[in-house]
Amino acid sequence: MTLRVKVTPGDVRALLNSLGRITVSAKVTAGELTDTEIQAIAGLFEKWGVGQVVNPKDLRQYNGVLYECIQGHTTQADWTPDTTASLWKTVAAPGVTPAWVQPTGAHDAYAIGDLVTYAGKTWRSTIAANTTVPGENPAFGWWVEN
């Protein structure tokens, strides 16, 4: 008995996209890809949409940018990845210093040694669970790198 399965070009494309997501997801969340590589594969990932159940480390594409979920939730129209730092973080390549975003609590506060850009400068966090604004109090929380 021979088993035959019909596969369309669309099926093959969907399977390859799925395999691509599985293969690169761990590399993306581990920070092992360059910005160019991240941009090249962003299209493999599901677009962010309202009503999706997402879990930590889930990846979604929003306005051409790849985001990683940092807190599980069901998406809402007013919780877009670019406006909710407590739920999403931009996936950036190693060596790329992200822009400072006001933390909303301990779950997204900056750790000692974290680098950010803010007001045209690069800052290094000097305290744990840092939620302060870089440069707001020069004696506390941040050291100017440049």
User: Cβ distance 145 to 124 under 8 Å?
Assistant: yes
| In the chain, % of residues over pLDDT 70 | 81
What the block records as the tokens of 86 is: 């407590």
Give pLDDT, residue 25.
73
What is the average pLDDT value for the chain, to the nearest integer? Answer: 81
Residue 111, pLDDT above cutoff 80: yes
Torsion of CA 85, 93, 43, 99, to 10 degrees: 30
Domains of the chain: 7-94 (2.10.10.20), 97-146 (2.10.10.20)
What is residue 107's three-state secondary structure?
Answer: helix
Quote the pLDDT of residue 139.
73
- pLDDT value of residue 91: 80
For residue 28, the model assigns a pLDDT of: 74
Euclidean distance between CA atoms 34 and 137, whole angstroms: 34
Q: Does pLDDT of 30 surpass 90?
A: no
Q: What is the distance between the alpha carbons of residues 101 and 106, in angstroms, rounded to a whole number? A: 13
Q: Is the pLDDT of residue 14 over 70?
A: no
The reply to whether the predicted model has a pTM over 0.85 is: no
- pLDDT at residue 1, as a whole number: 65
Residue 22, pLDDT > 80, answer no
Beta bridge partners of 65: 62
Place of tokens 């670019």: 82
For residue 133, pLDDT over 90 is answered with yes
Return all residues near 102 (Cβ < 8 A) that are at least 6 apart. 85, 131, 133
* Tens-place pLDDT, residues 54-96: 999 898 888 877 888 989 999 999 999 988 888 998 886 556 6
The answer, yes or no, to whether residue 12 has pLDDT greater than 70, is no
